């Protein structure tokens, strides 16, 4: 298996990032910048695989039932981050390559984190972002570890940044539900951008799941359980959350082109306006073809289509939910468990929220 080498200087990569978010840039400059971005992202593939293998080994020693997957950041997400953070340089982005472990409990998250802290590694530890202790405004909770890659045998990849995410199943259910609704309504809810009622709904849902997961811990709000439960019930009714999402999932058509037994990479293409999910599998030996196909699909998917309406959300005029992602995983089964948002599957999230509402709706 060959490995993509970086063909451009870091200065050229940063220039490409600026061009891609420049609304006045010429089309030929944009096309060239996309080529640079594609190479920059693909150059993370080999070191990301190394980082992920290390995570799997740690998980197998500590928490063998955990889910582990890896992914390279989607182009749309990269451009959104560059646009939102004007001082951000493309070469500074720490999550171009990322891997994730999903465990049962918060104690297991910190047990795995501590295993990293105790270990000796060539990779340079850069930062820990604890969004469990200090959740994001959106309600997002997870623990991130950032490392700078270093290798004796492949020094050409040294200094590339990678992010390791550690989260519980309940935190994962919330995060993938946000992704699902964001895809369906074409809004960046996970970045706290979008329709206010949806943002409030997910903020309250995050608090509800936090209360459920840590009943004895100090909450991140002075708002009572009863108030949160009643707000969730009112917003769920107004937004028709359960009916819309369950209807959309039922309508989803999944097309799978794969030999799951030998696959190590899965390309997921979600077209919410159909709705349709295409899944193409690639063997671990065919990773180069997987990345080429990923880049081809991303070029085909419009970044910011306008004037589209979804039948289940006619009140929202604009739509930009079509997306593709290339995921590395040990099995096809783990794809559905790790990326339920691509299946428009919010069952686990809805069940937890509805259980909280039933329990606390009448509380003070």
Q: In the 8-state DSSP scheme, what is residue 128?
A: E
Q: Residue 328: its pLDDT value, please? A: 86
For residue 277, what pLDDT is reported?
Answer: 81
Sheet with strand 276-283: strands edge to edge: 124-130, 143-148, 161-168, 97-103, 67-72, 323-329, 263-271, 276-283, 253-257
- Point out which residues pair with 146 in neighbouring strands: 127, 163
The partner residues of 161 in beta bridges, in order of sequence, read 148
* Residue linked to tokens 């840039």: 25
Q: Which structure tokens are listed for 309?
A: 């309406």
| Res 218: pLDDT | 67
The CATH class of the 10-250+338-360 domain is alpha beta
Cα 197 to Cα 135, 175, 203, 227, 270, distances in angstroms: 19, 17, 10, 16, 25
Q: Give the model's pLDDT for residue 302.
A: 57
User: Residue 230 and residue 325: Cα distance in Å, rounded?
Assistant: 36
Hey, is 69 helix, strand or coil? strand
- The predicted pLDDT at position 318 comes to 41
Distance between CA atoms of residues 183 and 320, nearest Å: 7
| Number of neighbours of residue 316 by Cβ within 10 angstroms | 17
Residue 363: per-residue pLDDT: 87
Q: Which residues pair with 166 in a beta bridge?
A: 101, 143
Phi-psi region of 194 (alpha: psi -120 to 50; beta: other; left: phi over 0): left
Cis? peptide before 275, omega within 30° of 0: yes
Low-confidence ranges of the chain (pLDDT < 70): 1-2, 218, 255-261, 301-321
Strand 97-103, strand 67-72: pairing: antiparallel
Residue-range domain boundaries for the chain = 10-250+338-360
Rounded CA-CA distance 277/240 in Å is 23
Which CA distances in Å does 170 have to 105, 210, 267, 344? Answer: 9, 9, 25, 17
Buried b (16+ CB within 10 A) or exposed e, 90-107: bbebbbbbbbbbbbeebe
- pTM (2 decimals)? 0.84
The encoded tokens of residue 226 equal 């009863």
3-state secondary structure of 253: strand
Spatial separation of the C-alpha atoms in residues 183 and 321, rounded to whole Å: 4
Give the chain's radius of gyration (CA, Å).
Answer: 20
């Amino acid at each position: 298996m060959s490995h993509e080498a970086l063909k451009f200087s870091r200065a050229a990569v940063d220039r490409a990032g600026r061009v891609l978010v420049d609304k006045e840039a010429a089309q030929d400059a944009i096309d060239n910048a996309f080529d640079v971005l594609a190479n920059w992202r693909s150059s993370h593939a080999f070191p990301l695989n190394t980082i992920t293998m290390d995570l799997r080994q740690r998980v197998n020693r500590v928490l063998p039932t955990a889910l582990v997957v890896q992914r390279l950041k989607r182009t749309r997400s990269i451009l959104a981050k560059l646009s939102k953070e004007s001082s951000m340089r493309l070469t500074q982005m720490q999550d171009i390559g990322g891997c994730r472990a999903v465990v049962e409990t918060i104690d297991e998250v910190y047990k795995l984190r501590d295993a990293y802290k105790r270990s000796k590694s060539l990779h340079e530890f850069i930062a820990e972002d604890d969004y469990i202790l200090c959740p994001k405004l959106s309600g997002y909770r997870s623990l991130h570890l950032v490392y700078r890659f270093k290798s004796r045998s492949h020094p050409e990849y040294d200094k590339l940044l990678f992010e390791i995410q550690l989260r519980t199943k309940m935190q994962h259910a919330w995060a993938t539900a946000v992704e699902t609704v964001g895809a369906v309504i074409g809004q960046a809810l996970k970045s706290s951008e979008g329709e206010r009622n949806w943002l409030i709904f997910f903020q309250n849902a995050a608090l509800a799941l936090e209360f459920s997961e840590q009943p004895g811990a100090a909450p991140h709000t002075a708002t009572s359980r009863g108030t949160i439960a009643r707000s969730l019930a009112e917003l769920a009714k107004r937004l028709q959350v359960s009916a819309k999402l369950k209807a959309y999932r039922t309508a989803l058509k999944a097309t799978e082109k794969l030999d799951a037994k030998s696959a190590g990479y899965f390309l997921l293409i979600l077209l919410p306006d159909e709705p349709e999910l295409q899944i193409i599998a690639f063997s671990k030996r065919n990773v180069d073809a997987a990345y080429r196909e990923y880049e081809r699909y991303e070029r085909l998917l419009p970044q910011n289509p306008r004037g589209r309406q979804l039948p289940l959300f006619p009140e929202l005029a604009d739509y930009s939910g079509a997306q593709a992602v290339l995921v590395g995983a040990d099995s096809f089964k783990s794809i559905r468990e790790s990326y339920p948002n691509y299946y428009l599957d919010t069952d686990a999230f809805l069940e937890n929220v509805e259980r909280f509402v039933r329990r606390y709706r009448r509380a003070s």
